Amino acid sequence: MSRWEPNARDRLALAALELFEERGFERTTVEDIATRAGLTKRTFFRHFSDKREVLFAGGEDFKAVFVDALAAVAPTVAPIDAVAVSLEAGGAALQDRLEFARRRQQVISANAELQERELVKLASIATALAEGLRQRGVEEPAASLTAEAGIAVFRIAFERWVTAPDDREFGELILESLQALRAVTASA
Amino acid sequence: MSRWEPNARDRLALAALELFEERGFERTTVEDIATRAGLTKRTFFRHFSDKREVLFAGGEDFKAVFVDALAAVAPTVAPIDAVAVSLEAGGAALQDRLEFARRRQQVISANAELQERELVKLASIATALAEGLRQRGVEEPAASLTAEAGIAVFRIAFERWVTAPDDREFGELILESLQALRAVTASA
């Protein structure tokens, strides 16, 4: 068997997702995943550090999408609108992966440890956005509040996107959630 | 030695905090804590399930403070203002514990696992507040957004409270953070 397996990474990710769905995350081993994909454990470990990593790989790249988009917004744009641009960029990066995102979310919802990991991932993006806002000259606590509120908007739009039956665009749901946030905080 | 030790719980909590500060959370054992408090491991386990529990005990009671305060607000009050009342109640419950909160926060900041646990605790309060808002007739996504934004306000006010040198009242910092959130989301 050659060391190079075509599409090994995608085959492993798909096999893992199937097994997590069929028997649960805890009861799936790396060996199960490799076998289902028709590959070896060694090949698995060339692509992922552990089975959890299958669901969270690319997290740093994903965070960079938000950070880079924020950095590219003109400095005259208001902080919340700059964050909105950043959230839309994050949403656009997922838009074509709805099917995977839906199935991944189901697996995560069934496991407390994975939910914690997801919270940590989003908190880390919020921290990076707050830092980006401070670099734009936004002071505290406004920088952290804008970043955290933005991530709340993203998370809630994401949940609607993956659970809603009506296949609406993620970007549209982000803008709608942001509008809802403005409405609730504007009330007298 | 009698089975009943006066102030055992407080003595254990204080001993644990001292040891976490001196040698770090990971390098402190339950045995160390009991010895420092002049008590037995068995007494420790009558009060706490493990050493992490020393820092997170009372979490359900704390959550109930937020939930009960929200439920007591007149139904005509706007959601964000009802959440503000709830946050102030949560803040009031901590106001007299500044010294403990400061030291606890230092310990948590030094340990990724404890930070995750703290994130989970706050996310759980946000979930409970969103449920309370839905019971008040607030629809989604407004309910979840108001709850999540409220918890962001609380967290940021809390960080300022425990790190600021000027001993300002926690409740005042909560109102100031909420005002800052309104300002950033109101921008055109």
Q: Read off the pLDDT of residues A142-158 as tens digits, 9 standing for 90 and up.
A: 999 999 999 999 999 99
Q: Would you call A184 an interface residue with chain B, using a CB distance cutoff of 8 Å?
A: yes
Higher-pLDDT residue of A98 and A187 is: A98
Distance of CA B109 to the CA centre of its chain: 14
The 10s digit of each residue's pLDDT in A3-23 is 566 789 999 999 999 999 999
Across the interface, whether the CB atoms of A184 and B81 are under 8 A apart is answered: no
Distance of CA B114 to the CA centre of its chain: 13
Q: Does B79 touch chain A (CB under 8 A)?
A: yes
Cα B187 to Cα A179, B85, B181: the distances in Å are: 12, 24, 10
Residue-wise pLDDT tens digits, B171-183: 999 999 999 999 9
Which residues of chain B lie closer than 8 angstroms to A176, CB-CB?
141
Q: For domain B8-54, which architecture applies?
A: Orthogonal Bundle (1.10)
* Residue A134 pLDDT grade (very low, low, confident, very high; cuts 50, 70, 90): very high
The 10s digit of each residue's pLDDT in A29-77 is: 999 999 999 999 999 999 999 999 999 988 899 999 999 999 999 999 9
* Cα-to-chain-centroid distance, residue B121: 8
Residues of B in contact with A146 (CB under 8 A): 184
Q: Is the pLDDT of residue B2 over 80?
A: no
> In CATH, which of 1.10.490.10, 1.10.357.10, 3.20.20.70, 3.40.50.300 is domain B58-186?
1.10.357.10
Q: A170 to chain B nearest CA, in Å?
A: 14
Start-end ranges of CATH 1.10.10.60 in chain B?
8-54
Alpha carbon of A9: minimum distance to chain B alpha carbons (Å): 29
Q: Please write the tens of the pLDDT for every residue from B89-110.
A: 999 998 888 888 889 999 999 9
The rounded Cα A49 to chain-centroid distance in angstroms is: 19
Residue predicted with more confidence, A167 or B56: B56
pTM metric for this prediction = 0.88
Question: Which SS3 state, helix, strand or coil, does residue A152 take?
Answer: helix
The residue whose two tokens read 């254990």 is B12
B106-109 — which CB contacts under 8 Å span 24+ positions?
B106/B21, B107/B17, B107/B20, B107/B21, B107/B25, B107/B55, B108/B55
Contact A145 B78 (CB under 8 A): no
Convert the pLDDT of each residue in B10-51 to its tens digit: 999 999 999 999 999 999 999 999 999 999 999 999 999 999
Ranges for all domains in chain B classified under CATH 1.10.357.10: 58-186
**CA-CA distance, A94 to A9, in Å (whole number)?**
18
- A 2-41 residues with CB below 8 A of B? none
Alpha-carbon span B6 to B11, nearest angstrom: 9
Considering only CB atoms, A177 lies closest to which of B145, B152, B182, namely B145
